[in-house]
Amino acid sequence: MSKLIDIILPADQLEGTSATLSKWLVAIGAMVKEGDPIIELETDKVSMEICAPSDGSLSEIIAVEGEEVEVDTVLGRMGEATTSNTLTATKTPIVEQASVTQAEPLSEDVDDSARHLVGPAVRRLLAQHSLDINAIDGSGRRGRVTRDDVRGYIANPQPRQQPTSVASAVSSPSPYASVERTARPLAGKMVPHTKMRKIIANHMVDSLMNTSPHVTSVFEMNMSNIIEHRRWHKKEFAELGVKLTFTTYFLAAMVKAAQLVPQTNARFHEDALEMFDDINIGVGTALGDSGLVVPVVQQVQEMNLFEIAKALNAQTEKARNGKLKPSDMKNGTITISNHGVSGSLFAAPIIINQPEVAILGIGKLDKRVVVKEVAGVDTMVIKPMCYVSLSIDHRALDAHQTNMFLAEFVRVIEGWGE
């Protein structure tokens, strides 16, 4: 009989946050190798995986899906691999459900209602190979795309077969034919909120409606100098394995602005404003339909541009590959939301990341006509411009400090390299 090994939730994985077991990624009896993801957890900040502690097979499930779990809890047990079954460990597919369910009958229409549920392991593979999940057939329950589906697609790329029905096989009428439409009951589907989505919703409402009176100020910013600087240095950074993004410059400029206006790098208390020495900048990072996380770059005031870029790369890569831990999002003192990457000109207010008192917003970079004085004459010129905003907690800051921060931030970016 093989030795049973406890599958536990290590204390350093949570750092005091709560967690819910969202999914068992393997079924009882499935063979896994040490380090394979076997459990998917959701905390109030991030989705994460628990991996197999050794080679072997899953013997017992103790914590069920949807259950709140605590550190050092025994989630399940697995049997240690023996010589006879080690060879088969890599050949047994990891399945999607922990409990054995009766096979569901096939229907004419494919149910894709779970395609949006993407686990960290799948997200990581998609990011590593620059794949579009919409091109991949999902073999998991209700159309969910599994890790094996992605691996199969990488080995043999085939376009996804779109579901068809009997109705779609009927010849379409002429585009000029008149078709009478009548009102009918609305049809749709309920997609349950993930724990992360529920927590995000609660935090947003609490921040805006119950905690901080939000006020937003907007400035315009010329990006010419950092565009030129980046053009000359991005290859140099890339040769050292670091991607130089515009956000790197924004973090550097935030340090200068926060040092000039320390009230922005602070936390509000009923009897005092706590202003911090370290400038730990949270970087809002969208995970598509999965939600939003804010990894923190620590002690940015002690870094040069290269060090900022390297630290920023590390945190955003972990976010997009599902590798963030709660400790990666601790001790933020001010946050940036670069919402312009998705085309937004500006957003107001951007909800403050509690318990901070300010959040910077960067809009879409756009070439615009601006008026400049050239040789004493007002002249229309084209410049790469964007809007930059600061949403503040009006309990802690007023317009004076808000505009001083933005003015310094714009001055640093527009004067970069001069």
Tell me, what CATH number does 239's domain have?
Answer: 3.30.559.10
Flag whether 317 is in a domain. Answer: yes
Flag whether 176 is in a domain. Answer: no
Our count of domains for the chain comes to 3
356 and 250 share one domain:
yes
Backbone angles phi, psi at 217, to 5 degrees: -120, 145
Q: Report how far Cα 275 is from the mean position of its chain's Cα atoms.
A: 28
Flag whether 166 is in a domain. Answer: no
Flag whether 323 is in a domain. Answer: yes
Question: In this structure, what token pair is assigned to residue 381?
Answer: 């010129």
Q: Of 116, 229, 233, 394, which residue is the catalytic one?
A: 394
**In the block, residue with structure tokens 């919402």:** 339
Question: In this structure, what token pair is assigned to residue 228?
Answer: 């030129």
Domain end (from 161, 182, 202): 161
Tell me, what's the pLDDT at 107? Answer: 42
Flag whether 181 is in a domain. Answer: no
Q: Of 72, 129, 398, 400, which residue is the catalytic one?
A: 398
Backbone angles phi, psi at 312, to 5 degrees: -65, -45
Maximum Cα interatomic distance, the chain, rounded to a whole number of Å: 91
Beta bridge partners of 221: 386
Flag whether 38 is in a domain. Answer: yes
Q: 130 is in which domain, residue-wise? A: 102-161
Tell me, what's the pLDDT at 168? Answer: 44
59 and 115 share one domain:
no
339 and 219 share one domain:
yes
CATH number of the domain residue 128 falls in? 4.10.320.10
Run means of pLDDT, 10 residues per run, the chain, 418 residues: 78 67 87 85 74 87 83 84 49 36 40 60 76 81 75 79 50 58 83 79 84 93 96 95 96 98 95 96 87 92 97 92 87 95 89 94 95 91 96 95 97 93
46 and 113 share one domain:
no
- d(Cα 10, Cα 329) in Å, to the nearest integer? 18
How is the beta sheet containing 4-8 ordered, strand by strand?
4-8, 74-80, 56-61, 31-32
CATH number of the domain residue 78 falls in? 2.40.50.100
70 and 138 share one domain:
no
Domain end (from 91, 120, 152): 91
Domain end (from 91, 115, 137): 91
Q: Report how far Cα 189 is from the mean position of its chain's Cα atoms.
A: 25
86 and 116 share one domain:
no
Catalytic residue status for 398: yes
Flag whether 12 is in a domain. Answer: yes
Question: In this structure, what token pair is assigned to residue 1?
Answer: 């009989």
355 and 246 share one domain:
yes
149 and 34 share one domain:
no
- d(Cα 127, Cα 145) in Å, to the nearest integer? 14
First to last CA, the chain: 73
- d(Cα 144, Cα 136) in Å, to the nearest integer? 10
119 and 259 share one domain:
no
271 and 149 share one domain:
no
Tell me, what's the pLDDT at 89? Answer: 40
263 and 402 share one domain:
yes
C-alpha radius of gyration, the chain, whole number: 26
Flag whether 204 is in a domain. Answer: no
- Torsion region of 262: left, alpha or beta (phi above 0 gives left; psi -120 to 50 gives alpha): alpha
Tell me, what's the pLDDT at 100? Answer: 33
- d(Cα 250, Cα 338) in Å, to the nearest integer? 9
Tell me, what's the pLDDT at 366? Answer: 94
Beta bridge partners of 367: 384
Tell me, what's the pLDDT at 246? Answer: 96
- d(Cα 364, Cα 184) in Å, to the nearest integer? 41
Within 10 Å of residue 159's Cβ, how many Cβ atoms? 9
132 and 258 share one domain:
no
